[in-house]
Amino acid sequence: MFAGTVPLAARAQTPESSPAESATQAAKTGQGNQSKPSSAARETPPAKTPAEVEADALDLAVNSAGRDPQALIQNLKRFLDQYPQSARREVVLRTIYRQAIQANDPHTAETYAEKLLEIHPDDPSLLSSLVDLLDRENDSASLVRATGFATKFLDHTEKLATEEKPSDVTEEHWQETTSLMRAAGYLMRGKVYAKLNQIDNAFADYETSYAAYPTSQVAEKLGDLATMKGDGDQALDYFVTAFAFPEKSMSPAHREELRRKAGSAYVAKNKTENGLGDLILARYDQLSRSLKSRFQETGRPNAGIKDPLQFVLQRLDGSEVRLADFHGKVLVVDFWATWCAPCRMEGKALERVVRALDGQPAAAFLAVNVDDERSGVPNFVKGEQWKIPVAYAQGLDRFLEVTALPTLLIFDRQGQVVFREEGMDPGTFEEQVKGKVEAELARGEASALSN
């Protein structure tokens, strides 16, 4: 297995005897003397095969880079230039791609993701990664290319929904998985269309995403887009939906912002806020009925729990993580999956935030995995060398309405969500998260002093 500074090729090599050892051996067998070396001592080592020479070159490329990701990238590029038909080509390409993501080198990551896509044209992780990488380029040409990769992701998702479900997955879980992938795909493309100012295309994609898996965030975006289109009635409808949505993880500040948007849209239509409360209550009742199965799950871990701090998660070794133990601390929870390329980047960035906040006992961090298939998670974490505690979601992702990856939430000392971000901006992520945590820590200390 290829990993950072570990040699790729594990080969059994025949040890070569030194001249002194050969002479000693010859003396023992009576076949040599001091003035004339034995025939064994005069033999030259057998020439290495081309495969062995290539393996040595790859080992050198890896080991000489040390812990420098950019040095490893350059070494591996030179290796591929020298051995373009290498049997290890795909492994090397994937390593360059992953190292580029960790090194915050989006251009190289994009280049090598496309090379990998030539090998695996329908890989959803590569397609979503390319959309994310091109989206951050933020120029029109890159955004147009991003829509193309997003469309390929959607083609794969639509095809997946028509295929027979795996035998080890329940029908309910399969339907939920395909719905979430479909919602994520249309949301992904809709965001790019919005950046291109293709408002009608963006609105259509967001509507399809909402139909596949309704969330408050998508409803709010639909309200924003309807406002841009000049459709006040649609804007009002979606803002009311976003505000009334039975969302468990919405911060008070965001709830207040939605209240402002809904109020402004209602007043623009009716010249008064009279009746807005009745509309919101009616919408809440409607959403609670239509989404009842989502919020009243049974037969799953943590079913029926109403408070996130009452959740009990599971570590990779099977032991329990009780979120109640974090009461009184500022808790940062990062939702991720092994197939999510941006999650790797966010994981590395979050590690740096943890180091920057070292010595703050009231700050806690937890990386929560949402993979359906868990068998590859421990090796992934080991390979990434994450130090942040890792646990399986056990339904926490559904409870908190996590529909895009990565998603990061910050809980205050009372267990209330005070910050939520989907995706990451490498240029601002570390300072933003560090600042939010420090602000919550300071608020807690001020509260303690006042009491």
pLDDT of residue 41: 54
**pLDDT tens digits for range 196-238:** 999 999 999 999 999 998 989 899 999 999 999 999 999 999 9
pLDDT of residue 80: 95
Does the pLDDT at position 344 exceed 90?
no
Of 312, 325, 303, nearest to 392 by C-alpha is 312
pLDDT of residue 380: 87
Query: Quick one: which H or E segment has residue 383?
Result: helix 377-384
Six token digits for residue 59: 């080992």
pLDDT of residue 269: 95
Q: Which residues contact 290 (CB under 8 A, 6 or more apart)?
A: 214
pLDDT of residue 376: 82
Q: Is 228 or 5 the better-scoring residue by pLDDT? A: 228
Does the pLDDT at position 35 exceed 50?
no
pLDDT of residue 155: 92
CA-to-CA distance for 320 and 395, rounded, in angstroms?
14
pLDDT of residue 450: 46
Of 286, 316, 323, 315, nearest to 400 by C-alpha is 323
Task: Identify the weakest region by mean pLDDT among 35-44, 155-164, 401-410.
Answer: 35-44
Six token digits for residue 23: 């002479």
Cβ atoms of 336 and 342 within 8 Å: the answer is no
CA-to-CA distance for 395 and 401, rounded, in angstroms?
10
Give the pLDDT mean for 30-52: 63
pLDDT of residue 249: 65
Does the pLDDT at position 365 exceed 70?
yes
Six token digits for residue 141: 């040409």
Of 233, 234, 245, nearest to 290 by C-alpha is 245
**pLDDT tens digits for range 261-317:** 999 999 999 999 999 999 999 999 999 888 877 665 545 676 666 788 889 999 998
Count of Cβ atoms closer than 10 Å to residue 321 Cβ: 18
Does the pLDDT at position 21 exceed 60?
no
Six token digits for residue 357: 């906040």
pLDDT of residue 422: 84
pLDDT of residue 29: 38
pLDDT bucket at 105, cuts 50 / 70 / 90: confident
pLDDT bucket at 123, cuts 50 / 70 / 90: confident
Of 423, 444, 227, 163, nearest to 328 by C-alpha is 444
Does the pLDDT at position 252 exceed 60?
yes
Q: Is 428 or 206 the better-scoring residue by pLDDT? A: 206
The values of phi and psi at residue 118, to 5°, are: -65, -30
What Rg do the C-alpha atoms of the chain give, in angstroms?
A: 28
pLDDT bucket at 444, cuts 50 / 70 / 90: low
Does the pLDDT at position 14 exceed 90?
no
Cβ atoms of 176 and 195 within 8 Å: the answer is no
Does the pLDDT at position 165 exceed 80?
no
pLDDT of residue 18: 35
Is pTM beyond 0.85? Reply is no
pLDDT of residue 28: 36
What is the rounded end-to-end Cα distance, in angstroms, of the chain? 56
pLDDT bucket at 38, cuts 50 / 70 / 90: low
Of 121, 115, 110, nearest to 92 by C-alpha is 115
Six token digits for residue 379: 């090796």
Domain 308-450 CATH class label: alpha beta
